[in-house]
Structure 1
Amino acid sequence: MSVVTVRRITPAEMDEASRIVGLAFALNPSNLAIAGGNRDKAARIMEHAARTLKLGNTASHVLVAEREGELAGVLKAAEWPHCQMTVREKIKSVPSQVRTMGFGLPRALKVVGGRAKHEPHKPHWHIGPIAVHPNQQGYGIGSALLTAFLADVDRQQVPAFLQADVDRNVVLYERFGFRVVSQEAILGINTSFMWRDAR
């Protein structure tokens, strides 16, 4: 098995990292629901969101994983209270979101709003997205990203929070000490909200 190296992202890697997020989430159930079942549109929506709202946000802490000299995965996290967009940021993002999502925007707002209700109102790191290029899955890249980031979190003695709408991801996160603290069906997709106590 090849060595996986985890480090902070560089500005030059933003486009490729955003592309990986789009590809990794093309079949995500919530993104497919937003995109009306269109896989290509789901990938475009998530790539755009990664570039403009997630990875490109100044409050974001972004790690990348390399395997065999190629970018293979991305993890984004933000520290509370900067893990949710401000009203000003939301308003500023509307024109580009309308261009990218079109008729999917109301569904996207429902997902964002539904998830925001579960955000803990106390100090924590909010992790997500965690994305692995489809061609690089199965090599422990997601685990390497989580291990590296949670080591930093543990040094800070701060809790962590994330959400998952895929059952196998819930199982993975439980191995890292997360537990499901609430669930909600959003657009008919069961979403688990998971908390990891400070270590």
Structure 2
Amino acid sequence: MAAAELDAACRIVGLAFADNPSNLATVRGDQEKATRAMEQGTRIIKLGSPFSHVLGAEREGRLVGILNAAEWPHCQMKLGEKLKTAPMMIRTIGFNLPRAFKVMSSRAKHEPSKPHWHIGPVAVHPDEQGHGVGSALLRTFLDGVDKQGTPVFLQTDVDRNVVLYQKFGFEIVSRETILDVDTRFMWRAAR
């Protein structure tokens, strides 16, 4: 991914997740900090990973959405990776770092320990939400995964996203309240 595309993708994720319940809980409601944290976290943890597979959606030559996925066993950060990202996270979210690590470690406990793809994030620019961009990204990715015969895992804390993912065959397999946020963990069996 070229530098300009990476910048645009990270910005979209930041904007799309600015009001995400988990992100806001992590930074104690500071929406500006939540946006920056998602931008920086996406740059280093997700899109900066050698195991990241990214799909982009464009409208009129402009990036409007992305879907990131990683294949098991590269879905969750190892301890060394967390320590490597800690300085950036401290600069971005400050004393909220323990809260961010709590969210990450709580979510990691739900990660299946068998072959699968882990989707996340799926982000659509706020101006483009509700116009089928996220659905198109999911459909494209899942069509490819179905050819492999591989199951898919994701997590969400947004009610409307649960409904969307269920339309694509995902089922809630577990849930946990993390920082007072209802987080659903969803699985889509191999097709």
TM-score (normalizing by structure 1): 0.94
Alignment partner, residue 115 of structure 1:
107
Alignment partner, residue 171 of structure 2:
179
Alignment partner, residue 64 of structure 1:
56
Alignment partner, residue 125 of structure 1:
117
Alignment partner, residue 167 of structure 1:
159
Distance 1:130 1:87 in 2: 24
Distance 2:3 2:89 in 1: 22
Distance 1:162 1:11 in 2: 27
Deviations 1:78-134 (A, max 9, x none): 000001112221111111111111011111111101100000000000000000000
Q: Letter of the aligned partner of 1:91 in structure 2?
A: L
Alignment partner, residue 38 of structure 2:
46
Q: CA deviation at 1:59?
A: 0.4
Distance 2:130 2:62 in 1: 15
What pairs with 1:67-86 in structure 2 (closer than 5 Å)? Answer: 67-86=59-78
Distance 1:153 1:12 in 2: 28
* Divergent runs of 4+, >4 A: none
Q: Letter of the aligned partner of 1:174 in structure 2?
A: Q
5+ long unaligned stretches in structure 2? none
Size of the aligned set, in residue pairs, is 191
Alignment partner, residue 198 of structure 1:
190
Distance 2:27 2:15 in 1: 14
TM-score (normalizing by structure 2): 0.98
Task: Verify: 1:188 aligned to 2:175, yes or no.
Answer: no
Q: CA deviation at 1:68?
A: 2.2
Alignment partner, residue 149 of structure 1:
141
Q: CA deviation at 1:10?
A: 4.6
Alignment partner, residue 6 of structure 2:
14
5+ long unaligned stretches in structure 1? 1-8
Q: CA deviation at 1:55?
A: 1.0
Distance 1:138 1:197 in 2: 26
Alignment partner, residue 88 of structure 1:
80
Task: Verify: 1:105 aligned to 2:104, yes or no.
Answer: no
Identity %: 64
Question: Helix, strand or coil: the match of 2:50?
Answer: coil
Question: Helix, strand or coil: the match of 2:183?
Answer: strand
Q: Letter of the aligned partner of 1:41 in structure 2?
A: K
The worse-fitting range, judged by mean Cα deviation, of 67-76 and 167-176 is: 67-76
Q: Letter of the aligned partner of 2:56 in structure 1?
A: V
Question: Helix, strand or coil: the match of 1:151?
Answer: helix
Q: CA deviation at 1:35?
A: 1.4
Distance 2:90 2:3 in 1: 26
Q: Letter of the aligned partner of 2:72 in structure 1?
A: W
